[in-house]
Amino acid sequence: MVPGGARFGGGGPVSGHSRAAPPVIARGPVSGGAAPGRGRISRSGCARVPRPVISIPRRGAVVQLRRGAPVTEFRFLHTSDLHLGRRFANIPQPPDGHIRGRLMAARQDAIGRIAAAARAQGAGHVVVAGDSFDTPTPSATVLRQSLAAMGEAEGIDWWLLPGNHDNLREAEPLWETVTRDGPANVHAVTETAPVDLGGAHLLPAPVGFRAEGRDLTAALPGMATPEGALRLGLAHGGVVDFTEAGGAVPPDRDRTAGLDYLALGDWHGRMQVSPRVQYPGSPEQDRFLHGRRGVCLSVTLPGPGAAPLIEEVETGVFLWAEADLPLRAGQDPAAALAALLPATGRREILQRVRASGWAGLPQQVALSRAADRAAPEFAHFELRRDGLGTLYDDADLDEIDRGGALRIAADRLKAEVDAGPPDSASAQIAGAALARLYAYVREAAE
């Protein structure tokens, strides 16, 4: 089975309620941007008109608010690492394909899917924990279309934290543009100071420059909020410092800063550090590592000090799937590959197959052909065969020729394969050449 091949597979550290399953936290009144009379600015034109009350009657939000029921619960969407504008130059693009453009567009479209998730969840705020943009200087198209898409998400406020890719120093013009020209519901969180969201206080730790080398969340414990306020930390960085540059976020920062929740970004896969400290990962995945589609988190803070309720909402279009194909002598590689690959949805799957074990020359040819047949159906397909050894049968060499120049060449190549350790460059090159020779002869004979 393909890891993460199931379209709606859960399997994250937090039990995932994908959009295939009904949400489980739908209850109670929802605050957070839903409260009327907060003097919003309408996006169309610049006229200041009161923003309509969020209309999500099935959640009961409007009704409950009008009744004047006490609003203590706060629900928001947590996402990070959108990396808008990422170009995917590392993905080879066939002449008749446009996979890079499709991947770019999917990231851009993630904004709309996040907004839809927020609406469906009855969340009035989206917090983006850094790296909204892939570079400090996104193109005008990327920037303007991103801002427009966020602006079109009526009833939702976006809080964009500078991360390392769009850090304050390098991306100063970017954040200025967001503040100056951006829609009223899009906020650049450039100050290390609390922001009252109405229902919760956002405690942000914006990234000042690319390699800060210090723990920016150290500022959070000192941020004062009113008695009984919900404290929502927002930061970008690793909790485990792989770079040894220092500056990792301590995993118990929620406790030391009295946070109800710490919304983290930087890690592109979904990761729960602890119930209150979470990485949603990139809403649209960008590498063969995490084995599932991107998600964002719908987070409900039931009240000060209470444990957050977290629901994963799938937002990713593309699945980056990696699968192992162990082969042994005599096995039918085409059948093995077919059994491994997902039956449906291939156009939205980037598939990497790592073949390993052993295969004879006829099997190698069969594997290549099966891969060539399947590849065009996928968004991207790559077969890695460096872990796959070749077995050379005399009968297979006889198929090349029983004598003459071709057979002499084949015998020489085989001798070279046999001479070196299997992973030596000379053995690998000779093996590849022999496999190619075999494939040519087979092709010519058919």
Residue 290 CB, nearest distance to Mn ion (Å)?
A: 13
Q: Which two tokens stand for residue 141?
A: 């198209």
Q: What distances in angstroms separate CA 180 from CA 146, 184, 289, 362, one per listed residue?
A: 15, 10, 38, 65
Residue 163 CB, nearest distance to Mn ion (Å)?
A: 6
Asked if residue 73 binds Mn ion (CB under 5 A), the reply is: no
Q: What distances in angstroms separate CA 35 from CA 26, 56, 151, 188, one per listed residue?
A: 18, 12, 19, 22
Any residues with CB less than 8 A from the CB of 187 and at least 6 apart, and which?
Answer: 157, 158, 159, 160, 195
Residue 103 CB, nearest distance to Mn ion (Å)?
A: 15
The stretch near Mn ion (CB under 5 A) out of 73-81, 89-97, 145-153, 175-183 is 73-81
Site size with Mn ion, rule: CB under 5 A: 2
Task: Assign 167 to helix, strand or coil.
Answer: coil
Residue 219 CB, nearest distance to Mn ion (Å)?
A: 21
Task: Assign 110 to helix, strand or coil.
Answer: helix
Asked if residue 134 binds Mn ion (CB under 5 A), the reply is: no
d(CA 438, CA 443): 9
Bridge-based pairing of strands 74-79 and 295-301 is antiparallel
d(CA 391, CA 45): 71
- Nearer to Mn ion by Cβ, of 135 and 351: the residue is 135
Residue 185 CB, nearest distance to Mn ion (Å)?
A: 23
d(CA 75, CA 126): 10
- Nearer to Mn ion by Cβ, of 131 and 260: the residue is 131
Give the contact letters, 77-116, x = binds to Mn ion (CB under 5 A), - = no: ----x-----------------------------------
d(CA 78, CA 118): 10
Helix axes 361-374, 425-445, angle to 10 degrees: 80
Give, rounded to a whole angstrom, the gap between the first and last alpha carbons of the chain.
33
The stretch near Mn ion (CB under 5 A) out of 55-63, 123-131, 218-226, 287-295 is 123-131
Is 128:114 a contact under the CB 8 Å cutoff?
no
- Nearer to Mn ion by Cβ, of 25 and 178: the residue is 178
- Nearer to Mn ion by Cβ, of 134 and 260: the residue is 134
- Nearer to Mn ion by Cβ, of 81 and 312: the residue is 81
Asked if residue 131 binds Mn ion (CB under 5 A), the reply is: yes
The stretch near Mn ion (CB under 5 A) out of 124-132, 195-203, 342-350, 396-404 is 124-132
Residue 237 CB, nearest distance to Mn ion (Å)?
A: 10
Residue 354 CB, nearest distance to Mn ion (Å)?
A: 26
Residues that bind Mn ion (CB under 5 A): 81, 131
